């Protein structure tokens, strides 16, 4: 056997998760508070909280200390056994989640949490189908990718025909129903959903899975009344409502959870990202007593080795303490600064078509100033789309913004500890 010659080419050993045709992927070397630095020491305001998750900034002492103490006590306990810190975190989640939600089934990522929620719903309801919204994002793994309604993610999944049992309905977006009037939009989107439920066959539907504020697809809150109607439909047709709070959880939209703002109680709630402020991967599904009783009676063996890792749970408990200690309130207090600032910019620039969002999650949407054509449609020529330029210029000036999927808008999701000065500067 011939020995392999060492290659002189630079080896790239970590594959970035997003394809960048310009190969301009930033290297983030360190961070402090709401700022990060690249590998050449340049500093940036991190107005994407990396991926909507570094919500407590990049140097939270309380979270780091809690993780250190837990790692010294015992770093890992089998996910098939109990651990005091996992119990403590589940107790805290029962306190802050809406209504009767009471028991947590931990996992590692948001994708897995959604897969577990859907699998549990199917078992409990003894029904195969799940309804999700077009343009939603629920994860990138085999199962969660099929729940996702974002065209780019679906293209990969559909090539492998992995989407069985998932049907899509239209999101309550103005261009989906041809009206900007919130009451009319809520009514039409509700009627459409009922049409889908009836045609799919209510007895075949286990659950509806939805984000309370559409996240990566553009920071779209639903019009008032939409979620109440959705809850009523779930009750009427005996369908479980699963709220995907992977982005909206833990204060991102000004309440502990996005669905809480809507005054609606889901049957399950999935979380990830913000639970630890991104100091460690952790996710899960919170369920109510009936589902918990079902799991206790029937068993539910979808465990993972690192689900509810104790060091991550310690980060979770400490992060919740931090959120409770003025961070959620900070989002609520400063939302008008972000909202009004963005609206003012929007009014001053023809290319801005709309500004929407809630709390510290905002989308600035672009349209062609000459034709008025919105960049809503993934088929619109990307060459016209100014999103990449805006993001590049912002980066040159020291601010990191995100982009929606598909990329017709920029998304701002600063760490929840950002102050008035940070928001005004960005």
Who's near 425: CB < 8 A, 6+ residues apart?
45, 399
Which of 63, 233, 272, 367 is the binder for ligand PLP (CB under 6 A)?
272
Determine if 242 is a binding residue for ligand PLP (CB under 6 A).
no
Instruction: Please report how close the Cβ of residue 367 comes to ligand PLP at its closest, in angstroms.
Output: 25
Rounded to a whole number of angstroms, the minimum distance from the CB of residue 228 to ligand PLP is 21
Q: What angle do CA 373, 376, 380 make, to 5 degrees?
A: 65
Nearer to ligand PLP, 305 or 344 (CB): 305
Q: How far is CA 306 from CA 143, 311, 334, 338, in A?
A: 19, 10, 36, 37
* 105 contacts 183 by C-beta, under 8 angstroms: no
Segment contacting ligand PLP (CB under 6 A): 91-99, 137-145, 253-261, 355-363? 137-145
Shortest separation between residue 247's beta carbon and ligand PLP, angstroms: 4
Q: Tell me the C-alpha to C-alpha distance, in Å, between residue 137 and each of 93, 94, 185, 362, 367.
A: 23, 25, 21, 16, 23
Return the residue of 115, 244, 267, 422 that touches ligand PLP, per CB under 6 A.
Answer: 244
Q: Which helix (H) or strand (E) holds 61?
A: helix 61-73
Instruction: Out of 90, 188, 246, 311, name the contact with ligand PLP by CB under 6 A.
Output: 246
Smallest distance, ligand PLP to C-beta of residue 153, A: 10
In this chain, which of 31, 57, 139, 284 binds ligand PLP, going by CB under 6 A? Answer: 139
**Distance of alpha carbon 113 from alpha carbon 195, whole angstroms:** 28
- Whole-number minimum distance, CB 224 to ligand PLP, in Å? 21
The footprint of ligand PLP on residues 96-115 (CB under 6 A) is 109-111, 114
Kindly state whether residue 207 participates in binding ligand PLP, applying the rule CB under 6 A. Answer: no
Best CA proximity match to 405, nearest among 13, 104, 18, 39: 18
Under DSSP, the state recorded for 78 is -
Q: How far is the CB of 76 from ligand PLP (least distance, A)?
A: 20
Which parts of this chain interact with ligand PLP (CB under 6 A)? 109-111, 114, 137-139, 211, 215-216, 244, 246-247, 272
């Amino acid at each position: 056997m011939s020995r392999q010659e060492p290659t002189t080419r630079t080896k790239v050993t970590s594959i970035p998760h997003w394809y960048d045709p310009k190969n301009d992927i930033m290297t983030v070397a360190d961070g402090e508070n709401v700022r990060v630095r690249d590998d050449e020491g340049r500093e940036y305001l991190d107005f994407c909280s990396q991926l909507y998750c570094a919500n407590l900034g990049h140097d939270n002492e309380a979270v780091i200390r809690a993780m250190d103490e837990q790692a010294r006590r015992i770093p890992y306990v089998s996910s098939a056994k109990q651990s005091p810190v996992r119990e403590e975190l589940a107790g805290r989640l029962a306190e802050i989640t809406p209504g009767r939600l009471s028991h947590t089934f931990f996992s590692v990522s948001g994708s897995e949490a959604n897969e577990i929620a859907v699998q549990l719903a199917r078992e409990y309801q003894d029904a195969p189908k799940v309804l999700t919204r077009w343009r939603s994002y629920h994860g990138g793994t085999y199962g969660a990718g099929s729940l996702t309604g974002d065209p780019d993610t679906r293209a990969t999944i559909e090539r492998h025909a992995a989407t069985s049992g998932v049907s899509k309905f239209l999101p309550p977006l103005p261009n989906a129903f041809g009206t900007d009037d919130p009451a009319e939009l809520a009514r039409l989107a509700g009627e459409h959903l009922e049409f889908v439920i009836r045609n799919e066959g209510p007895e075949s539907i286990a659950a509806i899975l939805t984000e309370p504020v559409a996240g990566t697809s553009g920071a779209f809150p639903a019009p008032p009344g939409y979620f109440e109607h959705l809850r009523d439909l779930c009750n009427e047709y005996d369908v479980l409502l699963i709220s995907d709070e992977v982005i909206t959880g833990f204060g991102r939209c000004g309440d502990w959870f996005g669905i809480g703002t809507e005054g609606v109680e889901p049957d399950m709630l999935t979380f990830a990202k913000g639970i630890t402020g991104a100091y460690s991967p952790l996710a899960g599904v919170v369920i109510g007593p009936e589902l918990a009783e079902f799991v206790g009676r029937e068993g539910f063996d979808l465990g993972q080795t690192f689900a509810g890792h104790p060091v991550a749970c310690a980060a979770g408990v400490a992060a919740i303490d931090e959120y409770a200690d003025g961070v959620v309130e900070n989002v609520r207090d400063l939302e008008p600064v972000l909202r009004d600032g963005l609206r003012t910019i929007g009014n001053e620039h023809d290319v801005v078509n709309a500004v929407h969002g809630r709390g510290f999650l905002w989308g600035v949407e672009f349209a062609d100033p000459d034709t008025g054509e919105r960049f809503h449609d993934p088929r619109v020529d990307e060459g016209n789309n100014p999103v990449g330029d805006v993001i590049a210029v912002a980066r040159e000036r020291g601010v990191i913004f995100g982009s929606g999927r598909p990329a017709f808008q920029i998304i701002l999701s600063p760490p929840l500890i950002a102050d008035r000065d940070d928001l005004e500067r960005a």
